[in-house]
């Protein structure tokens, strides 16, 4: 006779085992062959015989699928002395191609006076790209946007009332012809066909008018000698009349949320769609301050091109009326969704932040005073990007680096794989129960992508989940035992993946990269936090039919956890890393993998400040006069009411150790001046206002360094992130300087010693 308590437990356990799995099913067909033959490319071969091309699925390098990573950095927003070090950081983060705007106003602010010197030297920048091993895409304008004054058009161009800007007006195109001739001179010797880094150029930006204008720009560029494999346009907004097939490759973008939104709540419009997987490529939210809210949909014929991106939001700056401050996961989840939706070029805007240069006639930022929709800081264009205004490494850099390592080693397989969506799709932003997932597959192998994260809206865990992939060769169930997909998790899992003679039927872990050493292939994976890591191999691909093929609940560690052998005799081992360790893994130039702790560790020291003036009454915030009609940023004269402090840096501060001034404050707008000259400014968003001091030495050590903070009104019509809401207490205004410190990078040898201490070449 069974004990009643034992009987009760058996009933409970039995009921748990009998719970049906939540089965997520996708029907995957054998994909049709990619289309080609209609692309109007420039010269595709370089001096070494390497060839670039594309088909309707992906880019091709020497005839093979190529999955590069592109990151944007604006040469004219970064001092030339810093280019090399910052480009190397981008390369270390997995970037293969650097995209950059040519802001016309930065080069011909005064009509006829061209300036290609210093940080405006495009040729020198491209030469530096070449030296560090990066390709380049040049976004030529004439209109770029990029949050620059007039979208990059010089005032003297914007002021021409008898010119129809951004059109085939002969007078406007005559000026553009001059601009493109200047760009062509900068590109001379830097083109792909000449052995240089420039593989593509973009015509204008965010243009939805007549395709005749874009074709005229291409004709002018080619006439000026700008002969490159790829001629590009942005894929948004959707055009009513498509550009003739094959003339310009469209590149797309996706942002988690936008500083340009007119409303003062988070995730306005259709931004939530960028946290889902979908066939359409056009982000209907990007640029809706000028383009308006649009419905989902692509320009007819978009499916004839590969899904290439140039503006996956690497971050987001604060405009005056919308103080954006992304969670790093906002960037990461959107990037994963674009990858899972079929992208075969991951391009980020921005990957490296910058700072507006000084103008001859005016400041050079976008503002409502110039008729544009938003007020941006005068100097600061940090963008909260993976690499900041002064080269700071932000958290999303490490996650993206990990993803890019996967693309470098497995992207050739993934790039031509089309997207398959399950039948069940989220019904809308408030549909939190439908799992967001997709498959990319060639009909045999592929990857399952899952995103259970959405910005500022918690998606619950999905319990008892199992995926049924109905492949042409038979169904595959993964995993064999249902699992819980944790809340706010996002990941990708492989199936039927050839690891070098051994077929991995599936893994509930993410592949990161592979390397060879001593005849043994090591493949690295990252565990998904909260999900058991299981690896199942195809028995027929193993050296012995009796060899172990199933490995369940594998524990992460830095040493190999699984050893298998192919029928050919090839030995393969699996290293499963924890989330933390996987973010430290990086492939070195010699093809090995190592764990890198960030050597840029800083010691903090307080900085002496002296209050020179208390804050006056908070300014009344009125709407701007531009097309935006949102809260207006303060003008210079209004800073006479700012609280002002003198900052006293140590006289013997070693600028070679990359010290950074960190200002913790709460208020409206802060700015730092040196001897009366504006160094940098910040719209308060809850982030630390950080300034790299090395850039301003040695003057900054002895000059008059001041901090000004304007008080913030409690009733200000400004959006703040929910987690960053200012704390007014019982006050109606807020102006606090909480702390000022500087961080000094450790001296050379301790930093190197730490790197070496954590350097592990794994087998």
Assign a CATH topology to domain 52-414. TIM Barrel (3.20.20)
363 vs 373: CA distance, rounded Å: 16
Phi, psi of 665 (to 5 degrees): -150, 170
DSSP letters along 80-102, please? GGGHHHHHHHHHHTT--EEEEE-
Conformation bin of residue 301: beta by default, left when phi > 0, alpha when psi is -120 to 50: left
> Is it the case that residue 759 has pLDDT exceeding 60?
no
With a CB cutoff of 8 Å and minimum separation 6, the contacts of 541 are 501, 502, 503, 566, 567
Contact 104, 152 (CB under 8 A): yes
> Is it the case that residue 297 has pLDDT exceeding 60?
yes
- How many residues are given for the chain? 763
H helices of 228-361, where? 288-291, 328-340
pLDDT (tens digit per residue) in 42-66: 999 999 999 999 999 999 999 999 9
Q: Where are the domains of the chain?
A: 52-414, 499-594, 602-745
Contact 609, 664 (CB under 8 A): no
Mean pLDDT of 642-658: 93
How do beta strands 535-537 and 520-527 pair? unpaired
68 vs 71: CA distance, rounded Å: 10
Q: What is the pLDDT of residue 11?
A: 38
Structure-derived torsion over alpha carbons of residues 90, 91, 96, 98, reported in degrees to the nearest 10:
40
Mean pLDDT of 182-206: 98
Query: Which has more pLDDT, 650 or 734?
Result: 734
Q: Which of 640, 635, 641, 637 is nearest to 618 (CA)?
A: 641
> Is it the case that residue 221 has pLDDT exceeding 80?
yes
Task: Show the 3-state SS of 732-751.
Answer: CEECEEEEEEEEEECCHHHH
Q: What is the pLDDT of residue 591?
A: 85
pLDDT band at 599 (very low <50, low <70, confident <90, very high): low
Conformation bin of residue 269: beta by default, left when phi > 0, alpha when psi is -120 to 50: left
> Is it the case that residue 602 has pLDDT exceeding 90?
no
pLDDT (tens digit per residue) in 88-113: 999 999 999 999 999 999 999 999 99
Mean pLDDT of 618-638: 92
Q: What is the pLDDT of residue 746?
A: 59
What tokens appear for 14 in the block? 């039995």
Contact 558, 581 (CB under 8 A): yes
Element (H, E) at 311: strand 308-313
pLDDT band at 601 (very low <50, low <70, confident <90, very high): low
Q: What is the pLDDT of residue 6?
A: 43
pLDDT (tens digit per residue) in 514-551: 999 999 999 999 999 999 999 999 999 999 999 999 99
CATH architecture of 602-745: Sandwich (2.60)
pLDDT (tens digit per residue) in 398-447: 999 999 999 999 999 999 999 999 999 999 999 999 999 999 999 999 99
Contact 447, 494 (CB under 8 A): yes
pLDDT band at 3 (very low <50, low <70, confident <90, very high): low
Mean pLDDT of 301-307: 97
Query: Which has more pLDDT, 298 or 759?
Result: 298
* Count of CB atoms situated within 10 Å of the CB of 53: 17
Among the listed ranges 189-203, 338-352, 678-692, 741-755, which one has the minimum average pLDDT value?
741-755
H helices of 341-452, where? 395-414
The predicted model scores a pTM of: 0.95
């Amino acid at each position: 006779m069974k004990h009643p308590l034992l009987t009760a437990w058996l009933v409970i356990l039995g009921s748990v085992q009998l719970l049906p799995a939540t089965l997520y099913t996708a029907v995957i067909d054998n994909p049709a062959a990619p289309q080609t033959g209609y692309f109007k490319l420039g010269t595709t071969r370089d001096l070494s015989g390497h060839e670039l091309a594309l088909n309707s699925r992906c880019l091709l390098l020497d005839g093979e699928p190529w999955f590069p990573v592109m990151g944007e950095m604006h040469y004219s927003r970064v001092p030339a002395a810093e280019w090399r070090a910052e480009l190397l950081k981008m390369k270390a983060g997995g970037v293969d191609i650097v995209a950059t705007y040519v802001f016309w106003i930065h080069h011909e602010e005064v009509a006829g006076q061209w300036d290609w010197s210093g940080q405006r030297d495009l040729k020198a920048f491209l030469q530096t790209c070449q030296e560090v091993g990066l390709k380049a895409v040049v976004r030529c304008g004439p209109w770029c946007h990029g949050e620059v004054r007039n979208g990059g058009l010089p005032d003297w161009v914007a002021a021409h009332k008898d010119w129809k800007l951004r059109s085939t007006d002969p007078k406007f195109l005559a000026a553009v012809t001059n601009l493109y001739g200047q760009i062509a001179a900068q590109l001379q010797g830097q083109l792909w066909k000449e052995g240089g880094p420039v593989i593509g150029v973009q015509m204008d930006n965010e243009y939805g008018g007549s395709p005749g204008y874009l074709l005229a720009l291409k004709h002018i560029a080619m006439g000026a000698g700008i002969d490159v494999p790829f001629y590009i346009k942005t894929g948004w907004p959707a055009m009513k009349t498509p550009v003739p097939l094959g003339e310009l490759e469209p590149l797309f973008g996706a942002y988690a949320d936008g500083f340009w939104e007119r409303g003062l709540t988070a995730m306005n419009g259709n931004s939530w769609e960028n946290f889902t997987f979908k066939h359409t490529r056009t982000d209907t939210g990007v640029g809706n301050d000028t383009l308006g809210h649009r419905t989902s949909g692509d320009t007819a014929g978009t499916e004839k091109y590969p899904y290439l991106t140039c503006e996956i939001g690497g971050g987001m700056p604060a405009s005056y009326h919308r103080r954006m401050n992304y969670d790093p996961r906002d960037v990461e989840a959107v990037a994963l969704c674009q990858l899972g939706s079929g992208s075969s070029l991951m391009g980020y805007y921005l990957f490296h932040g910058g700072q507006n240069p000084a103008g001859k006639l005016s400041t050079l930022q976008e503002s409502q005073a110039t008729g544009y929709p938003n007020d941006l800081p005068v100097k600061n264009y940090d963008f909260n990007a993976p690499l900041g205004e002064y080269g700071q490494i932000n958290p999303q850099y490490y996650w993206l680096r990990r993803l890019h390592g996967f693309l470098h080693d497995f992207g050739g397989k993934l790039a031509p794989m089309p997207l398959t969506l399950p039948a069940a799709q989220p019904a809308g932003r408030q549909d939190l129960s439908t799992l967001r997932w997709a498959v990319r597959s060639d009909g045999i192998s592929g990857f399952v992508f899952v995103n259970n994260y959405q910005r500022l809206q918690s998606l619950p865990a999905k319990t008892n989940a199992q995926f049924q992939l109905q492949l042409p060769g038979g169904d595959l169930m993964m995993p064999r035992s249902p699992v819980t997909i944790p809340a706010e998790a996002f990941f990708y899992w492989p199936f039927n993946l050839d690891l070098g003679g051994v077929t991995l039927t599936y893994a509930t872990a993410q592949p990161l990269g592979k390397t060879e050493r001593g005849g043994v292939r090591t493949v690295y994976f990252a565990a998904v936090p909260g999900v058991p890591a299981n690896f199942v191999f195809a028995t027929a691909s193993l050296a012995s039919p009796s060899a172990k093929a199933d490995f369940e609940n594998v524990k992460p560690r830095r040493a190999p956890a699984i050893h298998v052998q192919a029928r050919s005799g090839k030995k393969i081992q699996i290293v499963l890393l924890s989330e933390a360790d996987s973010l430290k893994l990086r492939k070195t130039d010699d093809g090995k993998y190592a764990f890198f702790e960030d050597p840029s560790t800083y010691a903090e020291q307080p900085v002496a400040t002296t209050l020179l003036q208390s804050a006056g009454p908070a300014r009344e915030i009125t709407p701007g006069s531009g097309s935006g009609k949102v809260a207006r940023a303060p003008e210079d004269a209004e800073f006479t009411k700012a609280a002002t402090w003198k900052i006293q840096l140590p006289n013997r501060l070693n600028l070679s150790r990359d010290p950074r001034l960190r200002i913790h404050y709460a208020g409206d707008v802060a700015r730092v001046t040196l001897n009366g000259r504006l160094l940098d400014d910040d719209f308060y968003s809850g982030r630390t206002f950080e300034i790299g001091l090395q850039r301003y030495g040695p003057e900054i050590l002895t000059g008059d360094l001041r901090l000004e903070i304007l008080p913030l009104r409690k009733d200000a019509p400004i959006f703040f992130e929910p987690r960053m809401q200012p704390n007014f207490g019982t006050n109606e205004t807020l102006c606090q300087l909480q702390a000022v410190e500087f961080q000094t990078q450790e001296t050379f040898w301790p930093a190197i010693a730490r790197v070496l201490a954590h350097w592990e070449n794994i087998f």
